Amino acid sequence: MLQKQKKLKIMLTGGGTIGSVSPLLAISQKIKEKNSEVKFLFLGTYKGRVEKELVKNYKIPFQPIFSGKLRRYLSFKNFIDLIFIFLGFVQSFFIILKFRPNVIVSAGSFVSVPVIWAGWILKIPSLIHQQDAVPGLANKLMAPFATKITVVFEKSLKDFPKDKTILTGNPTREDIFAGDKKRAREIFKLEKDLPVILFIGGGTGALALNKLIIEALLELTKFCQIIHLTGKNKNLLVDLKNFGGNYHAYDFLTKEMPDAYAAADLVVCRAGMGTLTEISLMGQPAIIIPIPNSHQEKNAEIFSQKNAAILLNQRELTPEILIQEIKNLLNNQEKLKILSENINKVMKSGAMEKIIEEINKICGKK
């Protein structure tokens, strides 16, 4: 484990989506437990209100930098974003010079690309973590410059250089397991004997899922209670009086998230690896609705193939179908039990310790 004799500095970088932030916070939390003297600095995006709030909750300094997204198709935005990537590179270069980290750690996202590049020029080693079943362009751009690459799925080992890639699984925040059902009833004003569905709309792609949920609300709230995470700035024109107090909407949750999970009899979510890791490790029965034509479809397929979740195709999904799927599951306790047992087996355990061990090696501590 990280020793206490020497003060370490670790730079974390990610953002744009919570999925690239959560694993880094999980890692930092565990490292701090073992060595409270380690200094962290988080480089994220200017627009990341949610990521900034999450990082702040972990008492880690947050510094935004410019970032841009490179698309795999011809677009004028690629030329504009190249300017932002260059500006982010310049910012990263001088921030790294000042902070002098022992290692830079990223879990993907385009904001990390110029940080890893600048670190490589300044001879700062780095570790990048590949969460999704399909490698993203950001990690592909960073991989040649990374010291070590960790992956969640065995199939991902072939996507990166063999000599510096290892299978670890996906780390998650340990406080996510600290939820309490009784406390959740008080926080979310829930009835004791009515099933609870946790809808996690996410960020990207939340609008389509939110629309589907809203159209199903009138029927759903007749037989269950709903905690709905809509995503930031996803204004929903909903008259709460229509749902008898059984509908509770939030942009996002931070410290209350463990209790939301504890309250849920069923989770309905996208297929980002942050959420999938959490529900897997907690054994939460789930309906997964991946964003169409995205890497999420491959993530969801892995869970579906193991009979670990119900996979629904958004292209064919209607409010009526969603209502019936939820009703069928809530009325089938045996099915819920099977899903819970199977989903709990999908994610590899011990990910946190393995990634910290690699950080330890990179920092030169044997």
CB-CB contact of 66 with 88 (8 Å): yes
Domain ranges of the chain: 9-170+349-362, 177-343
Residues, the chain: 366
**Global confidence as pTM:** 0.88
| CATH 1.10.10.410 at 9-170+349-362, yes or no | no
CA gyration radius, the chain: 21
Structure confidence at residue 203 (pLDDT):
61
User: Which residue is listed with tokens 């909903």?
Assistant: 238
User: Which residue is listed with tokens 């011809």?
Assistant: 74
Intrachain domains 9-170+349-362 and 177-343 with the same fold: yes
177-343: what CATH class?
A: alpha beta
CB-CB contact of 112 with 139 (8 Å): no
Q: How far is CA 130 from CA 41, 139, 142, 170, 255, in A?
A: 21, 7, 11, 9, 26
| Of the candidates 91, 131, 81, the residue with the CA atom closest to the CA atom of residue 114 | 91
Q: How far is CA 330 from CA 143, 281, 321, in A?
A: 44, 21, 14
Strands 247-250 and 266-269, how do they pair? Answer: unpaired
Number of Cβ within 10 Å of residue 331's Cβ equals: 11
CB-CB contact of 176 with 258 (8 Å): yes
Environment class of 273 (CB within 10 Å of its CB; exposed 0-12, middle 13-18, buried 19+):
buried
Structure confidence at residue 2 (pLDDT):
46
Which alpha helices (DSSP H) does the chain contain, by range? 22-34, 49-57, 76-99, 112-121, 137-142, 181-188, 206-220, 257-263, 273-282, 296-305, 319-330, 333-343, 351-362
| Of the candidates 99, 116, 111, 123, the residue with the CA atom closest to the CA atom of residue 38 | 99
Dist CA 203 CA 8 (whole Å): 33
Per-residue pLDDT of the chain (366 residues; tens, 9 = 90+): 444 446 899 999 999 888 899 999 999 999 999 999 999 999 999 988 778 988 998 999 999 999 877 665 566 676 788 899 999 999 999 999 999 999 999 999 999 999 999 999 999 999 999 999 999 899 999 999 999 999 999 999 999 999 999 999 999 988 899 999 999 999 999 999 999 999 998 665 578 899 999 999 999 999 999 999 988 765 565 665 567 789 999 888 888 999 999 999 999 999 999 999 999 999 999 999 999 999 999 999 999 999 999 999 999 999 999 999 999 999 999 999 999 999 999 998 899 999 999 999 999 854
